[in-house]
Amino acid sequence: MVVRSEEGEEISCRLRGRLRRDALGVVAGDFVVLTRTGADAVVEEVLPRRNLLDRPTVANVDQVLVVFSYRDPPLDLGHVGRVLVGAEKAGVDAVAVLSKADLLAGAERREVEELFRAVPYRLVVTSSVTGEGLGELRPLLGGRVSVLAGQSGVGKSRLLNALEPGLGLATGDISPRVRRGRHTTRLARLLDVDGGMVADTPGFSRLDLAGVEPRQVAALFPELAALAPECRFADCYHRAEPGCAVRRAVEEGTVALWRYRLYLELLTEVEEALPW
């Protein structure tokens, strides 16, 4: 495995035996302690992880960029919304990235901007053809570890290639499945992109709400969570309860209807998964 030192040196290392026996061992994004004796470098210790994603397995992730197009493939707000909820659950920042903006008519672009007007995540409108929005993305990537999310065909690899032309990623799927020993795993690598690092395997493809209780679903929507204390009832589920500040905000347009609908959908999913 290759470890990068704080000075930027790439060091080939082997793993101390007990780390090799650990099921997880060392994953992309880990901070590790090395000992070096001459040309020999050994990973002695993995420092505590701030977070750990699976599929792809990456530690200490700072943010997810959920990439989506408007037309090809058509915008699936449910998918985008679920990625944002997954990021919230993982405690990772999220940025919404509209791709292929060069294909959009003015009215379509305004429609997307309107959909995100009341959504508490930044929307960056980009085109890997014209270069639009890349200057806005660059400072967001610098010094951070990012994971891309988004359906296939939205242009994730094209976006990375446009940001970092030296990458030369094949467009299409970012990374093939790698077969290692008995397990077929998705080995994540971190690519250098604009002074930051981006996992070469997309993540957040499936929202896992296992362990989330109905009461906790609203907390995964920051704009709903902020309003909940203003609801008449402390145990408001923001459905049909009287004096619900969330419903009022949806009616007034200060909470996006699609976000509220996704909340209701996820609340129902979580309730139906309960064992009683």
Applying CB under 5 A, the residues found at the interface with Zn ion are: 231, 236, 238, 244, 246
Q: For Zn ion, give the closer residue by CB, 147 or 246.
A: 246
Q: How far is the CB of 152 from Zn ion (least distance, A)?
A: 37
Cβ proximity to Zn ion: between 40 and 230 the closer is: 230
Phi/psi class of residue 186: alpha, beta or left (left: φ > 0; alpha: ψ in -120 to 50)? beta
> φ, ψ for residue 214 (rounded to 5)?
-50, -40
Q: Are 228 and 249 in contact (CB under 8 A)?
A: no
Q: Tell the smallest beta-carbon distance from residue 227 to Zn ion (Å).
A: 7
Q: Answer for the pair 190, 199: CB distance below 8 angstroms, yes or no.
A: yes
Question: In terms of CB distance, is 27 or 217 closer to Zn ion?
Answer: 217
Measured CA to CA in angstroms, residue 105 lies from 116, 129, 156, 164 at distances of 17, 15, 21, 27
Cβ proximity to Zn ion, 123 vs 225, nearer residue = 225
Which of residues 111 and 230 has its CB atom nearest to Zn ion in the complex? 230
Closer by beta carbon to Zn ion, 113 or else 233: 233
Helix H or strand E encompassing 247: helix 245-252
Smallest separation (angstroms) from Zn ion to the CB of 262: 16
Q: By CB neighbour count within 10 A (0-12 exposed, 13-18 middle, 19+ buried), where does 169 fall?
A: middle
Least CB distance from residue 241 to Zn ion, whole Å? 6
Cβ neighbourhood burial of 130 (10 Å; 0-12, 13-18, 19+):
exposed
Shortest Å, Cβ 242 to Zn ion:
9
Nearest distance from C-beta of residue 250 to Zn ion, angstroms:
10
Token pair 């470890």 is found at 3
